[in-house]
Structure 1
Amino acid sequence: MNHPPSARTLLVGLAASLAASAALAVTPADLLRTYSAQAGAAPQPARGQQFFNASHGREWRCASCHGAVPNQAGRHAATGKSIAPLAPAFNPERFTDPAKAEKWFRRNCNDVAGRECTAAEKADVLSWLLTLQP
């Protein structure tokens, strides 16, 4: 009898896949395709902008640290530490390391939404960030 894979099995597989791909630099568009495929839906930049600027029942929004339009350096709301621009057009290093992107999505989504973001939310936010151009 076949049983569907457990969430843990899927997460371990995703982590291994991300770790293997971490050695290879990717483009933000590559990462967006990955999140979109995981979500099973096309990303929606407008929904990403809304998610980024909305309160999700917690003290902070993404914009609390990154700014409403993250094309300039931000500042961590609690520590005051400077944060490089989030939009890839303004910081070419952003979203080029899948493991690093996952690490920060996990941390920041927990701070902002009290949970990990879904693949669709990540795709939506990243697709909006990719619309920001100099």
Structure 2
Amino acid sequence: MAATKMRQQAAFKIKPSLYPVFNMVNNRHISLILLSALLYSQAGAASDAIEPLKARYQKLGALPFDVDRGRQLWNRKVLHNRSGKMRSCSNCHGTTFTKPGRHIRTRKVIKPLSVAIEPNRFNSMKKVEKWFKRNCKWTFSRPCSPQEKGDILTFIQFETWRK
């Protein structure tokens, strides 16, 4: 019995020459786990405003939200009445949500939509509504419906969590 116990203990011992490698691997894994947990917790907290907004839109009569409808709306080109130019959400925000965009008229930088990059992006329902009001008017020359807002939020969630 004593011999078996000694063999089991020996199996779990690390050779002294491997201590630096073992510590490096463990530290790297621990760092990755902690970084992932931090990003996940920030992204989850930052997107807390999205679900209540989607619930509000459904109470206003929206159907279940759809990623594909959101993607189509995001990329839809609309002829602007006054400028005569085509506009879409992706003109300013881009198609990669982890990178900053740029407003096509003012040239101002727009922070990335990804909550992993910009943790406070969707933390305020009031701000999200404000930007929907401005951006829908700018892009589509009209307010977005609750259905459209929910589809766009669902599309953004899908794109930012998928990558």
Question: Scaled by the length of structure 2, what TM-score is found?
Answer: 0.61
1:1-134 → structure 2 map (5 Å cutoff)? 26-58=48-80, 59-132=86-159, 133=161, 134=163
Larger relative contact order (C-alpha < 8 A, sep ≥ 6)? 1
Q: Deviations over 1:61-102 (max 9, x none)?
A: 100100023221101111111111123343221222111111
Q: In structure 2, what residue type is equivalent to 1:29?
A: E
SS in 2 for 1:39: coil
Distance, in Å, in 2 between the alignment partners of 1:112 and 1:40 is 21
SS in 1 for 2:65: coil
- Structure with the higher helix share, 1 or 2: 2
Q: How far is the alpha carbon of 1:40 from its aligned partner? A: 3.2
Farther-moved stretch of structure 1 (85-94 vs 124-133): 85-94
Q: Number of aligned pairs?
A: 110
Q: In structure 2, what residue type is equivalent to 1:130?
A: Q
Q: Deviations over 1:35-67 (max 9, x none)?
A: 233233110111001101111332321001000
SS in 2 for 1:92: coil
Give the greater-gyration-radius structure (CA): 2
What is the root-mean-square deviation of aligned Cα atoms in Å?
A: 1.8
Q: Which runs of 5+ in 1 are unaligned?
A: 1-24
Q: Which runs of 4 or more aligned residues in structure 1 lie more than 6 Å from their structure 2 counterparts after TM superposition?
A: none
Distance, in Å, in 1 between the alignment partners of 2:96 and 2:151 is 15
Work out the percentage of aligned pairs sharing the same amino acid: 33
Q: In structure 2, what residue type is equivalent to 1:46?
A: D
C-alpha contact (below 8 Å) 1:31/1:95 kept by paired residues: no
